């Protein structure tokens, strides 16, 4: 006889039976059959999109489209066109009409990832879609009506973003009808063996390797690590382990990397040691190199430090602006504007005098 599912039953394609995850399953199963907006909150790598897909699959809209948009990956103007579409000639490069993601998701679900990075202008437009189920394409006055279920996700505390004036409180209340907080992996360590064995089998099969032997040493090493990248980091680590393991015995040196001291991932602001020598260098050369005229030394030094800090963190994050903005503790759009400003200043300095 098939086991009867309850609201706490595990979701398809999701591994974990800890009490934290049972609460996630309960909230997901209760929210899915409704049309209520859902806000998924969790650190990077906790599986926010997996939950969003589960909500869609368990909903009455499961036969409709599921459309994902990463709001932090595009500049404001491009994101507006991506979400709402545009008409030919609306802006430079708009050579044809384009259907936006909201239209494409009609009758289904749209998943808005990294919602905290959305600009104030687009927040207003999104609020209207949530309230009125209508919008206009870029460059067109005709109103388009849609029937779309909105699921949003964020790795930021939106209450803090509201207090800082970067996120609208009315939009927050519209999105936060059903909040689903996802626990970081360090708070559900009992699930690590289940997840690890699941990934071991998956990547062994994909790479046509033997499944490595599950030993107490391997389990201890995995469970003692804090996993700042959460499930995504664990998955990548297991894939790497499969690549470097020949046969069924995991090399001891692969286990040593899990012996790092634990640290608190809640502190995302760069520390002094993350930017070695930047302040000292700026102060040392600032007085001599500061331009003459009305520019004040303080403004010159602070501006130079900000630019050097952003460049340093971008290098640390391999040029990924979303990660850099998160590490700096600033909005993704703020970072993009500053980079545009630095590029503009560099081009001005390089331009020949008239």
Residue 38 within a domain:
yes
Q: Among 259, 287, 315, which residue terminates a domain? A: 259
Rounded CA gap, 318 and 153, in Å? 24
Residue 322 within a domain:
yes
Tokens matching residue 101: 């993601």
Residue 4 within a domain:
no
State the average pLDDT over residues 277-298: 54
- Note whether 143 and 23 are same-domain residues: yes
Q: Among 238, 259, 280, which residue terminates a domain? A: 259
Question: pLDDT tens digits, residue range 178-201?
Answer: 999 999 999 999 999 999 999 999
Residue 317 within a domain:
yes
pLDDT level of residue 257 (50, 70, 90 thresholds): low
CB 153 within 8 A of CB 53: no
Rounded CA gap, 234 and 23, in Å? 22
Residue 303 within a domain:
yes
- Note whether 94 and 205 are same-domain residues: no
Question: pLDDT tens digits, residue range 308-338?
Answer: 788 778 777 766 777 788 788 887 778 877 8
- How many whole angstroms from its chain centre is CA 193? 25
What pLDDT does 142 receive?
Answer: 86
- Note whether 154 and 281 are same-domain residues: no
- Note whether 68 and 146 are same-domain residues: yes
- Note whether 170 and 97 are same-domain residues: yes
Task: Give me the number of domains the chain comprises.
Answer: 3
- Note whether 252 and 111 are same-domain residues: no
- Note whether 165 and 233 are same-domain residues: no
Q: Among 183, 199, 215, which residue terminates a domain? A: 183
Beta strand extents in 114-216 (DSSP E only)? 134-136, 143-145, 149-154, 178-181
How deeply is 149 buried, as exposed, middle or buried, from its count of CB atoms within 10 A (0-12, 13-18, 19+)? buried
**277 pLDDT above the threshold of 60:** no
Domain that holds residue 167: 19-183
State the average pLDDT over residues 18-22: 93
- Note whether 123 and 44 are same-domain residues: yes
Decide: helix, strand or coil at residue 57.
Answer: helix
- Note whether 285 and 323 are same-domain residues: yes
Q: Which residue has the tokens 């969790």?
A: 42
Tokens matching residue 137: 């394409």
């Amino acid at each position: 006889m098939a086991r009867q599912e309850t609201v706490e039953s595990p979701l398809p394609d999701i591994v974990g039976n800890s009490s934290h995850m049972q609460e996630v399953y309960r909230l997901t199963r209760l929210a899915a059959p409704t049309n209520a907006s859902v806000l998924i909150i969790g650190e990077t790598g906790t599986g926010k999109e997996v939950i969003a897909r589960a909500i869609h699959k368990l909903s009455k809209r499961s036969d409709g489209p599921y459309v994902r948009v990463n709001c932090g990956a595009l500049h404001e103007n491009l994101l507006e066109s991506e979400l709402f579409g545009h008409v030919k000639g609306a802006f430079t490069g708009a050579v044809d009409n384009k259907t936006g993601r909201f239209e494409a998701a009609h009758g289904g679900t749209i998943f808005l990832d990294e919602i905290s990075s959305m600009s104030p202008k687009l927040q207003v437009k999104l609020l209207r879609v949530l309230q009125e189920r209508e919008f206009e394409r870029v460059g067109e006055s005709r109103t388009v009506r849609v029937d779309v279920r909105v699921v949003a996700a964020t790795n930021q505390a939106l209450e803090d973003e509201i207090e800082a004036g970067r996120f609208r409180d009315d939009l927050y209340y519209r999105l936060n009808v059903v909040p689903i907080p996802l626990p970081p992996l360090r708070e559900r360590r009992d699930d690590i063996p289940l997840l690890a064995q699941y990934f071991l089998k998956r990547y062994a099969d994909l790479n046509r390797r033997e499944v490595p032997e599950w030993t107490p040493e391997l389990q201890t090493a995995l469970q003692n690590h804090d996993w700042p990248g959460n499930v995504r980091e664990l998955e990548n680590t297991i894939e790497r382990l499969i690549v470097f393991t020949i046969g069924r015995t995991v090399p001891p040196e692969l286990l040593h990397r899990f012996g790092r001291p634990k640290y608190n991932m809640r502190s995302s602001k760069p520390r002094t040691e993350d930017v070695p020598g930047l302040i000292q260098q700026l102060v040392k050369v600032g007085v001599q190199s500061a331009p003459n005229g009305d520019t004040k030394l303080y403004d010159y030094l602070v501006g130079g430090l900000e630019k050097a800090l952003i460049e340093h963190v971008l290098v640390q994050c391999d040029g990924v602006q979303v990660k850099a903005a998160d590490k700096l503790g600033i909005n993704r759009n703020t970072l993009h504007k500053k980079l545009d400003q630095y590029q503009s200043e560099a081009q001005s300095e390089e331009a020949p005098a008239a």
